[in-house]
Amino acid sequence: MLLSFDYNSETADKIVSGLELMAASQEISASCAQLVVASRVKADSNSENLSNLSKSSKSVLEETGKIIATTKQCSKLIEENVINDFSKLSLHQAKRLEMECQVKVLELENHLDKERLRLASIRRAHYHLSESLCNDENNSIH
């Protein structure tokens, strides 16, 4: 049983790493898109550099999409391969495992709530920062 539990823990860690990879890929895509939009505002619309940047951005978006799709497929395969054979557990072992699992679920839910609040706070700060930068740019233009 301990071997199975260790395997499940390792698998969960790998799945979390996949989620981190997907989040990083999405962040790269978003940053790339922001760069192109900012460049379009500042650059001449017929600029060769802008055209090259747009092509490169499209390639980055396609590749990060492939990374995300592959990561999702791998995570799904890992989840499908996790074997949860509880038939050999005693009543006491099953109850203990159930309680440990419930504690873990509550910890994760609590952590998720905290991270959602943190994300909202970061987004608010980012919004206010970009708003103040836009105001500063507008004031310097006039």
pLDDT mean over 76-80? 72
pLDDT of 73 higher than 90: no
Expressed in percent and rounded to 5, the helix, strand and coil fractions of the chain are 90, 0, 10
What value does the mean pLDDT of the chain take?
81
Domain ranges of the chain: 1-85, 86-142
pLDDT of 8 higher than 80: no
- Summarised one tens digit per residue, pLDDT across range 22-40 is 888 889 888 888 888 888 8
